[in-house]
Each structure stands twice: as C-alpha cells, then as structure tokens.
Amino acid sequence: MANPTGHTVKAFDEDLDQLRASIAEMGGLAEAAIAESMRALVQRDGQSALRVIEDDAKLDALEAEVERQAVQVIALRAPMADDLREVVAALKIAGVVERIGDYAKNIAKRVVVIEEAPDLKPLSLLPEMARIVAEMVHNVLDAFAARDADKAAAVCERDKAVDDFYSSIFRALLTFMMENPNHITPATHLLFVAKNLERIGDHATNVAEMVYFAATGNHLAERERGYDTTLEADG
Amino acid sequence: MANPTGHTVKAFDEDLDQLRASIAEMGGLAEAAIAESMRALVQRDGQSALRVIEDDAKLDALEAEVERQAVQVIALRAPMADDLREVVAALKIAGVVERIGDYAKNIAKRVVVIEEAPDLKPLSLLPEMARIVAEMVHNVLDAFAARDADKAAAVCERDKAVDDFYSSIFRALLTFMMENPNHITPATHLLFVAKNLERIGDHATNVAEMVYFAATGNHLAERERGYDTTLEADG
C-alpha cells in the first residue's frame, strides 16, 4: 500500500534535500533579519529597518514554497511512516522560521516608531542577546540539515542564557522607567524588543526539540513548551 | 497514481470529520482558557489561574493527536491535491489553536506573578477585549467546520476592533505608569496581557484567512501577516 508509485529512494531523497535547501535559505534570511534589525535599532537607522520589514516578504514566500513542495512530495512519492514524518517536520520547521522572521520584523518596526530615545543602558545588553538567539537559529538549522541530535540538544541548553538576559534587561528597564517618566515610552519599546528576542530563542528551542525527536525518536527531557518561560522572573 | 489504495470517498470524509472534531475540541479548550484566565486576572484568583496553566497540557496533547491523525490519513488514504491541502490546513490550524492556548496560559501566569496590583482603569477594558478575541476563535472554528468563507471574512473584519482596543489600553497603561512609579510593574504585566490578547486576535485572523482560501481558492484582500499590526499606534 505504501510507496505504490514505485518511486526510487533516490527521488524522495532529492525532494527532501530540496526541502532542506529551502529551509536553510529561510534560516539564512531569518538570521540576517535579526542581525540587521538590531543594528538598525542600535544605530537608529530607519532606512535599514524599513528594508528588514520589506524583506520579510521573501521569508513568507519561501514558506509558501516549502508548503507547496512538501504537499507535492507527499502526493507524488507517497512516503511511508518515517519519511512522511520527516516531510511533516520540514513543514512545521518552515512555519517556525517564518515566525522568527516576523519577530525580527517587529523589532525593525520598533526602530521606525522610536523616533528618539534617551540612552538606555539595557540597550547595550540587547545586541548581545540578539547575537545568541541568531546563533541558536543558525545552529538549529545546521542540526536539522545534519540530523545532529547533539547539536540540537546544545541549542536547547543555550535557551537558559537567553532567559537570563531577558530577566536582566526586564529589571533594568523597569528601574529606568521608575527613575524618570520620560524613559517609560522608549523603555516599553525596548521591553517588547527583548521579548521578541526571547521568543526567537524559544522558537529555536522548539525546532531543536523537533530535530532531536526526528533524529533519535526520543523526546528531550520534559520542559515547558517555549512560551514565556521567563515569566516568573518578570516581576 | 493518486488514490492507489482505492479508498472510498466516504472513508476519507470520515477521517476528515474526525480531524475537524479534534480541532473543534481544541477550539473549545482554547476559548475556555481565554475566558478563565481573564476571570482569574480580574478576580485575582490564583487557583483558577493555576488550573488554566495545568489544563494547557490537554491542548498540547490534542495537537499531537491531530498531527498523528493527519499523518495517518495521508499515509492510508493518499489524498489528492484538494483533499491533501485540506489535511495540511487542518494540521496548520491545530498548530495555531495550540498557540492561542499558550497565550491564554501566559495570561494565567501573569495572574500568579501579579501578587498585588493597584486598581488600574485599563484593567476594565481587558475583559471586553478578551471577549472579542474569544468570540473570534469560536467563530473562525465554526467557519472552518462549515467551510463558510463569509463567516471567515467576518472574523478578519473584527481584528481592527481588537487592534483599537490594544492601542487604547497601551496608551492608558503608559499614562498610568507616568503618573505613579508604583504602577510601572503591574502596568507592565497588563501590557503583556493586552499584547497576548492582540496576538490571539491575529492568530484567529490568520486561521480565518486559511479557511477563506480553502473554501474559495482566493486570498482575502492583502493584509499584513498577523504579527504586531498595531505597532505603529503603540508610541
């Protein structure tokens, strides 16, 4: 019943490679969007920010392309259990990477609305936090391409550092707001920037869990689904 | 080549009905989580909030079940183009509903961390905003079950009201923070609650777009992908 079209394993593997290549391309765009949006934030560069916002359409288009490819692979190759699961995983990972791009776009949008902002010290922590989450995105897609469970597990471990950054930045921003009411509006925007970075880390972690499961058949030790793991430290 | 198992249309339709039933069940849980988390927030009811947090595991389990069912339907029935697209849509919608549940869980987590909060006027706007987004979730899953494009389009139209609520609440909370530094911490939590509700509205809208496309083959008039459409009004 399965594999009724008599496709060669090779044809399916080539299709899967094509899917992986599209996802790797998405990952590269998402990484660049994170780095560029943060550079634009730090340098108050509205033009670069607008470019990040525009470029997000490419990620959306690539996700639609991955979906089209995945549906076609399923329809043409009728893959069996494990192979099918792999195609479904690719579909889900593409969705997550697209959302990571949306978070970077949101950061870029903040750059456009923060017309002027006093020098806030927590701003200096944000690029470092961004560097870590961009690396997580990079490494998790490497892990996906190489089906490397250890590398995926290493990505999950870094999420704790991201959460610690978020908590530090959150506290620092609250302190700045309390010191001076003029800081409240810009600090609120930076709070959402920090939150966006924290979510990117969560999403990279979720992908890492999918990659780990696909490669080993086992779940990484139980942990909360990614959202707002830092919440308890907020207040 | 397609439909090589010679399955009857009836068997596929029954499978699809089963998928729809699971998604409807997820929708009911998500709706209840939104309503309960907001009730807990308004009444400062930590016990109810903890229950919402615990109950989210049911949504996660149901999403995994939908994924299992969808993969099985594809493997057993080898559905052709349109049918396959419908199964993939069900898979994606289940993922979005699971995320909606996560946002409700996040609201419940805020209830637990906001130990005490002064009476903030914007708090009174939040339940109304929550009521609208819960209705959007309800209506969009009705539209999905009935393949009702008009109902789906109506859900999209309500997203504007949600964005307006968010902007009002955002401004009101900033004003409260500026008036009194003691308001900053609780108001920040409420800001994230409002953001979570706004995201729920965005996700309901995204589902509505999928339902509309599945039912008509046409895209609703171009609009931004859901994230942070309210951003420009933030500052």
Interface size A-B, in CB pairs within 8 Å, comes to 119
pLDDT for residue B121: 67
Average pLDDT of the segment spanning B209-221? 83
Residue A79: which region, alpha, beta or left (left: phi > 0; alpha: psi -120 to 50)? beta
pLDDT for residue A134: 97
For B:78-107, CB contacts with A below 8 A are 78, 80-81, 84-85, 88, 91-92, 95, 99, 102-103, 105-106
pLDDT for residue A120: 67
Question: How is residue A63 annotated by DSSP?
Answer: H
Cβ–Cβ below 8 Å for A75 and B184: no
- Helices (DSSP H) in chain A: which residue ranges? 9-42, 46-77, 81-113, 125-146, 149-179, 184-216
Average pLDDT of the segment spanning B161-180? 92
DSSP assignment of B69-117 equals HHHHHHHHH---HHHHHHHHHHHHHHHHHHHHHHHHHHHHHHHHH----
State how far residue B225 is from chain A, nearest Cα, in angstroms: 8
| Residue B233 pLDDT > 60 | no
**Residues in B touching A184 (Cβ below 8 Å):** 174, 177-178, 184
State how far residue A4 is from chain B, nearest Cα, in angstroms: 7
Question: How is residue A122 annotated by DSSP?
Answer: G
Q: How confident is the model at residue B120 (pLDDT cuts 50, 70, 90)?
A: low
Q: How confident is the model at residue B2 (pLDDT cuts 50, 70, 90)?
A: very low
Measured distance CA(A51)–CA(A40) in Å, rounded: 10
Contact A234, A138 (CB under 8 A): no
Average pLDDT of the segment spanning B47-66? 95
**Residues in A touching B230 (Cβ below 8 Å):** none
Name which residue leads in pLDDT, A124 or A36.
Answer: A36
**Residues in A touching B99 (Cβ below 8 Å):** 227
Query: Of B5, B112, B235, which is closest to A1 when you measure between CB atoms?
Result: B5
pLDDT for residue B77: 83
Q: How confident is the model at residue A233 (pLDDT cuts 50, 70, 90)?
A: very low
| Residue B124 pLDDT > 90 | no
The answer, for B151 touching chain A at a CB cutoff of 8 Å, is no
Name which residue leads in pLDDT, B222 or B63.
Answer: B63
Residue A187's Cα: distance from chain center in Å? 23
The answer, for B4 touching chain A at a CB cutoff of 8 Å, is yes
For chain A, give the percent of residues with pLDDT over 90: 57
Average pLDDT, chain A: 86
For chain B, give the percent of residues with pLDDT over 70: 86
Closest to A92 in 3D by CA, of A63, A52, A116? A63
Cβ–Cβ below 8 Å for B5 and A4: yes
Q: How confident is the model at residue A86 (pLDDT cuts 50, 70, 90)?
A: confident
Contact B27, B138 (CB under 8 A): yes
pLDDT for residue A168: 93
Cβ–Cβ below 8 Å for A227 and B105: yes
State how far residue A128 is from chain B, nearest Cα, in angstroms: 23
pLDDT for residue A112: 81
Cβ–Cβ below 8 Å for A174 and B181: no
Name which residue leads in pLDDT, A80 or B172.
Answer: B172
pLDDT for residue B117: 62
Measured distance CA(A137)–CA(A28) in Å, rounded: 9
Q: How confident is the model at residue B39 (pLDDT cuts 50, 70, 90)?
A: very high
The answer, for A18 touching chain B at a CB cutoff of 8 Å, is no
In chain B, what are the domains? 9-233 (1.20.58.220)
Contact A176, A160 (CB under 8 A): no
Cβ–Cβ below 8 Å for B71 and A91: no
**Residue B38, both tokens:** 């907001």
| Residue B41 pLDDT > 70 | yes
Residue of A nearest to B92 (CA): A92
What radius of gyration, in Å, describes the C-alpha atoms of chain B? 20
Amino acid at A33: A
The answer, for A199 touching chain B at a CB cutoff of 8 Å, is no
pLDDT digit string, tens, across residues B69-85:
988 888 788 787 778 87
For chain B, give the percent of residues with pLDDT over 90: 57
| Residue A234 pLDDT > 70 | no
Question: B168-187: string of b/e by CB count within 10 Å (b at 16+)?
Answer: ebbebbbebbbeeeebbbbb
Can you tell me which residue has the tokens 């409700």? B104
Name which residue leads in pLDDT, B201 or A215.
Answer: B201
Question: A7-46: string of b/e by CB count within 10 Å (b at 16+)?
Answer: beeeebeebbeebbebbebbbebbbebbbbbbbbbeeebe
pLDDT digit string, tens, across residues A18-35:
999 999 999 999 999 999
Average pLDDT of the segment spanning B92-109? 94
pLDDT digit string, tens, across residues A106-129:
999 998 887 666 666 667 899 999
pLDDT for residue A190: 92
Q: How confident is the model at residue B201 (pLDDT cuts 50, 70, 90)?
A: very high
- Its sign, for the CA torsion A159, A161, A164, A165, is negative
Name which residue leads in pLDDT, B230 or A201.
Answer: A201
| Residue B1 pLDDT > 80 | no
Average pLDDT of the segment spanning B83-104? 90
**Residues in B touching A225 (Cβ below 8 Å):** 60, 102
Residue of A nearest to B6 (CA): A1
Cβ–Cβ below 8 Å for B71 and A60: no
